[in-house]
Each structure stands twice: as structure tokens, then as C-alpha cells.
Chains A and B, each alone.
Chain A
Amino acid sequence: MREKRGRPADWLRRNPPVAASDSSPAVEVTDLHFAYPGCRDVLRGISFSIHPRESVAIIGPNGAGKSTLALHLNGLLRGDGVVRILGLAVSDRTVRDIRTRVGLVFQDPDDQLFLTSVGQDVAFGPSNMGLSRTEIDERVSDALAAVGMDGSENRLIHHLSSGEKKRVALATTLAMRPDVLILDEPSANLDPKARRRLMQILKSLPVTKIIITHDLPLAYELCPRALLLSEGMLVADSTTPEMLFDQRLLAANDLELPYAFGPQARAEV
């Protein structure tokens, strides 16, 4: 694969994210409840707070409410409770502003990339922000450079490989220069090389990151802190190593480390 041309995230260094007020947390969720119509409660009283530039993994079994929580963080869903982004409470009035501050990368890039060419799709977010043509173009090429896809503006989306689609999906949110980046299962359907590539890119981005994942080694490597969600409740909030080596906690929540990283494998060596 072609190496990217030197400037991994220059755009961020040139334009450091500006917080609404420096002291406020990047994300603050207070007693969040939510139920889909006609279903049992999906979120049952979740509270946590994340500092600017922190990287936090959200782990938990299927159906724990992880993706539903993510949809609350940029106002796509509104439950009972308060969600604040950089001190700004999510409401009808603030939701447009909040969506430019919170970049959400969906699990399936085919959901996120809906226009025909790479350049058009990456330009979609910035053009919704009402920027000028030259600024949009600059943001598109910067965002593509940040994910190692520079010069692919004219490629068609359906000609990209899964790994490339994933990186372009990330670029579509980076082009909006968000303060908070939320990724839903970033390593799903990626081969080891594409996964490694994506992790390196994520590491290089100096923004607040929330990574929802079943890929516990990825959580371990990228996020110093982890939240464990189960049945709509926050079960644990600790450092990632602490959580991942607490076998009893993981087992109680239907999670496990890959065999090769667990104590059995170490005993075999």
C-alpha cells in the first residue's frame, strides 16, 4: 500500500479544537434513560464524563446499548437526562452545532458513504457547514491526507476496498474537524493490516475519542480508560488494563479476552 505523504494530521495542529469553555468536559452524560417505542429500556440511567483529548473505550455485550448511547452523543436520539458536549447541552437549538463538534463514524461504511465519489462524500459535511468552496476543498484534501487516502477524490466509492472505505468514512467526519470523535466498531470486517493502519491513524489524531468495540486488544492499545456497559447500565468505569484483566467482571458481563491473551494461554507458554 502506498504510504501517505508525511502530513498525518497537520490540519489539527494548524487548527486546534476550541472548547466552549476550557474547564468543561468534552462529553458529560447525566442520568440518561432511553427506550425505543414499544421496547424495554435500552439505557437505564447512565452517567459519565470524559475530559478533552481523552480516549475512552466503550465495551459490553451485544444489546448492551452501546450504539444507542453513541446516537445520543450527537443528538440523533434524545432520551431523558442531560447530554453535554463541551459544556453545551444537546437540545433542538444546539443540535446542529453539536453535530459539527461530534464526529460519528458508523460501523458500516456503506451507510456513511452515500455519494458516488470519494471527494463528493468527504465534502458533504463541510458544505453543510456553509464553508466556501476553497475551504471545502482544503478540508477534503487535508482529511484524506490524514487517513492516507490523498489524491483519491475522484475514485468511486464502490471501487474501494473495505479498509479504504473505512478510512474514507473516517475522513468524512474529520473534514468537519470535530472535537469529539465517536467510532462504532472501527475494526469490524478489517483484515489485520487494514486494522493496524486504522489504529495508527486513530492514534495520530489529537481529539477526544470514544471507541465502541468488541475488539478488546484494540481498546487496550488505543484507550487508557474503558467504560463497561451491560443491559443499559454502566457497570464499570476504570483504566482499560484494570478492566480487561478482571476476569470475573468480564465473565459476569458475557465478555472475554481473546484466548491468546488470557491467563490460560500464558500458562501454556
Chain B
Amino acid sequence: MRREATQPARFLPRAAVVDSAIHRLDPRVKVVAILTLILAIVSTPREAAWAFVAYAAILVLLVAIARLPLKHVFRRLLVVLPVIVLVAVVLPLYGAMRQGNPDPTSVVAGADLLLLWNVAAKSLLATLSVVLLASTTTVPDILSAFERLRVPATLVLILSFMFRYVFVLAEEARRMHIAIEARGYGRHRLGRIPALARLAGALFLRSHNRGERVYEAMLSRGFNGRIRVSTDSKLHLADTLFVGSLVVVALAIRLMATVAWR
């Protein structure tokens, strides 16, 4: 019982562990500001290196204000590493192919390095933005922000169900896996495959049945097709200032990047 209660914690962004001005902002404001920032980042021309430095400076400043532990931030940034490595590995081959040159090592041209820089900078900065949002806002708050920002209700509900039941499913899968191992399965890797396939099938059936029971429980509490998960709250001055200044600065950098590059 106890382990069930604490185990999912490792999946969780450690939101609300620390408190800061950023944590206390209205979730809607954070969603809008971060989304604007990400759009600005990914659409900035790659030649405008100074713009990426500026975005990075803003994000680092926000992370500092939010007092997020650096270790936490770095660990979460590692997600993008495979993408960057993949690009780095594929680039020489790509260059070779384009130029019809059989020796891939000789042709890593400036344009290719620029491509690598582009992917690396944009993915790192965009991920950092998301980490900032996820680490300073609880999931229910983000969902409620989506709802109040008029994201379609069905979509919000699907996300909400996913967040609620991913832990239940993971726990169920873990138990089934243990039960399979306990009966001596898995000596050889290949021998595991049929058992794992059945596990996936059983998990699907169980989820389907659970879905029916959940729906029954919803009906018995008067479900009529609509769910409102958000609570009402008013925007404060700090919220307006935050979203206003961040959006203006991000758009300004984005605009100047285009002008300067031309």
C-alpha cells in the first residue's frame, strides 16, 4: 500500500516542491507565455545566433527566479540528447549523399554544421521552456489552464484521464510482469516475447473493462457529457505583467532576428 502511494512520484515533475514568484503565477499566463516563447524560438532563423543567446538568457533568468534545482533541470534536458546525437551521426552521410562524394568524413560542410546547430539550439531551448513550465505548475493546474484557454474539452479530458490512469496501468503492468517472472518465464530473451505480447493484450482488455466501470461510476454521479475541471480565479497584476513582458520580449527578439538576418 505504501509503495503504491509513493512510487509514481518518480514520474512526476517536482512541481510545487519549492515555491517562487514563478510557481505562484496563474497557470494560464505561464502556458501562454511559454507557448509564445517556444514558437518564437523554433521560427527564428538559425543564422541569428545572438537571438538564441537572448532566448537562453531569458530562460536561465526564469529558471533562477523559479529557484529550480540545476540537477533537476539538466536531467530533464537530457531527453533531447538522442535527437541531437542522431542528427550529428546522420549529417556526414547526408552531406555525402548530396554531393555524390563516397567519403563521408571529408564533406562536413559549414551548412551541415549550421543544421546541427539549428536542431541542437532549438530543441534544447524549447525543452528548457517546457521543463520550466512543468516544474513550476502542477498537472491539474496545466489542465485547468488548457480548459480555460478554450482548448477543446474532449482533448483536456483525454489528457486528464491519461495522467490519472497512466500510474494505475503502470502498476497493473508491473504486477502482471512480476507474476509472469514468478512462474519462471524469461530465461531466454526470445522466450519472453509471447508472454509480453499476452501481457499487452491482457492489459488492453483490463483497461477496456476499467473504462466501462469508470463510465458507470461517472454516470452514477450524474455525468451529462460535460466536465469542468477548472476553478475560477482572476488574473493579478503580476500575471499580466509577466505574460505581457515575456510575449513582447520574445516577439521583439524574433522580429529583430529576421530584420538583422536580412
Contacts and interface: CB of A to CB of B under 8 A. Distances in A.
A235 interface: no
Nearest to B168: A110
Given A111-B214, A120-B140, A159 B5 contact: yes
Contacts of A106: 213, 216-217
A141 interface: no
A127 interface: yes
Interface residues of A, number: 40
B143 A116 contact: yes
B229 interface: yes
A160 B222 contact: no
A247 interface: no
B218 interface: yes
B1 A99 contact: no
B139 A112 contact: no
Nearest to B217: A112
Most buried by B among A99, A111, A113, A172: A111
Contacts of A160: 5
B221 A125 contact: yes
A91 to B, nearest CB: 16
A153 B17 CA distance: 17
A68 to B, nearest CB: 12
Contact of A111 (B213, B222, B224, B229): B213
B258 to A, nearest CB: 40
A76 B4 CA distance: 31
Contact of A173 (B9, B165, B221): B221
Nearest to B160: A116
Tell me the interface secondary structure of chain B in the complex. helix
Contact-size category for B: 35 or more
Contacts of A116: 139-140, 143, 160, 163-164, 229
Contact of A71 (B165, B214, B216, B229): B216
Contacts, number: 95
Contacts of A163: 1
Contact of A104 (B143, B210, B217): B217
Interface string B223-248: 11001110110000000000000000
Nearest to A127: B228
Contact of B8 (A102, A119, A154, A159): A159
A100 interface: yes
Contacts of B219: 76, 99
A176 B222 contact: yes
A191 to B, nearest CB: 7
Interface string B133-172: 0000011100100000000000000001101110110000
Contacts of B224: 96, 128
B4 A124 contact: no
A189 B160 CA distance: 26
B106 interface: no
Given A111-B210, A114-B161, A128-B224, A158 B167 contact: yes
Nearest to A108: B213
Contacts of A47: none
A173 B222 CA distance: 10
B172 to A, nearest CB: 9
B220 A99 contact: yes
A158 B164 contact: yes
Interface string B196-228: 000000000000001001101111111110011
A110 B5 CA distance: 13
A157 interface: yes
A162 interface: yes
A191 B2 CA distance: 11
Interface of B: 1-2, 4-6, 8-9, 138-140, 143, 160-161, 163-165, 167-168, 210, 213-214, 216-224, 227-229, 231-232
29 contacts: A71-B216, A76-B216, A76-B219, A76-B220, A96-B224, A99-B219, A99-B220, A102-B220, A104-B217, A106-B213, A106-B217, A108-B213, A111-B210, A111-B214, A111-B216, A115-B140, A116-B139, A116-B140, A116-B160, A116-B163, A124-B218, A124-B221, A154-B138, A154-B140, A159-B5, A159-B8, A160-B5, A163-B1, A176-B221
Q: 10 smallest A-B Cβ distances: which pairs?
A: A128-B222, A125-B221, A111-B213, A158-B167, A104-B220, A116-B140, A117-B140, A112-B217, A161-B5, A162-B1
